[in-house]
Copies of this chain bind each other. A is one copy, B any other.
């Protein structure tokens, strides 16, 4: 089967193939919508099937001079940023993984608020402690797919959610939406501050000593975005001094966090190994997204999850 004589061809390469399970799932996704699988040399579309293989991406793409659209497999695409250009259409997995990641946030909030991290370590009957997520006040940094999914999951919980975003444009489901220049004000009353931002030059290190000092001493920091959003030494100091109650981190800087990092020794810090979304959770969701986009491509419809090359997400 060759590419049809239309504006968009039906010629998909799925590579580099270094993750067999992901490769198989994405090949199936392309086939499920009638996509033709071809070598990269003849492909119009590259479905990249290994989020860990960014170092070979440039050479691989160079082997496909006819490629017009590249589908990247993950929501965070930092590793691929050097390759972004205006010669190709780029799509990422953004929003695909929003619900599992939003679920991770709720799990972190509940574990922290109800002291389950301490109960999990207990080897004798501990004193009662904990408070409710129900009706609590949350401040969320970021107004993307994860935040929207979080607001959906929490809808019956009666939480008071403040969203901080670049603009102050209101987000449905949030009680208040503040622009980033009011960040210290936005975190001051929260039971927890949740970081759910993309990592850009503007947001790197956004949670620093100033933000941590502005938080309540009984408030939790929850980071499910990227380790680089938080200034690690400032966080260690805040956790040691008790200027915040604790931190729940799915991402660290560096990652994986080395065994001798001081965060491991702090009882009020819980670290999960980047499991907001795991392959087990995410691969079926990604395969569904790829199938949808492949059909959109074949049918000449707009793609989902298009990356803004200038902002990098």
Instruction: Identify the A interface with B (CB < 8 A).
Output: 99-100, 103-104, 106-108, 110-111, 114-134, 152-153, 155-157, 256-257, 259, 264-265, 270-275, 278-281
Contact in complex: A110, B106 (CB < 8 Å): yes
Q: Which residues of B contact A121 (CB under 8 A)?
A: 120-121
Q: Which residues of B contact A104 (CB under 8 A)?
A: 114
A256 to chain B, nearest CB (A): 4
Contact in complex: A275, B129 (CB < 8 Å): yes
Interface centre among A116, A128, A271, A275 (most CB of B within 10 A): A116
CA distance A271 to B128 in the complex (A): 12
Contact in complex: B128, A274 (CB < 8 Å): yes
Say whether, besides A131-B280, A281-B132, A275 and B114 are in contact (CB < 8 Å). yes
Q: Which residues of B contact A153 (CB under 8 A)?
A: 156-157
Contact in complex: A128, B275 (CB < 8 Å): yes
- Among B116, B124, B134, B152, point to the contact of A272 (Cβ < 8 A): B116
Across the two chains, which residue of chain B brings its CB closest to A133?
B103
Q: Which residues of B contact A156 (CB under 8 A)?
A: 152-153, 155-156
A194 to chain B, nearest CB (A): 15
Q: Which residues of B contact A134 (CB under 8 A)?
A: 99-100, 103
Can you list the 10 inter-chain pairs with the closest CB atoms, starting with the nearest?
A107-B110, A125-B256, A117-B120, A120-B120, A124-B259, A119-B272, A107-B114, A128-B278, A123-B264, A111-B116
A99 to chain B, nearest CB (A): 6
Say whether, besides A156-B155, A273-B128, A275-B130, A107 and B116 are in contact (CB < 8 Å). yes
Across the two chains, which residue of chain B brings its CB closest to A277?
B132
Across the two chains, which residue of chain B brings its CB closest to A281?
B132
Q: Which residues of B contact A125 (CB under 8 A)?
A: 256-257, 259, 271, 273
CA distance A136 to B118 in the complex (A): 26
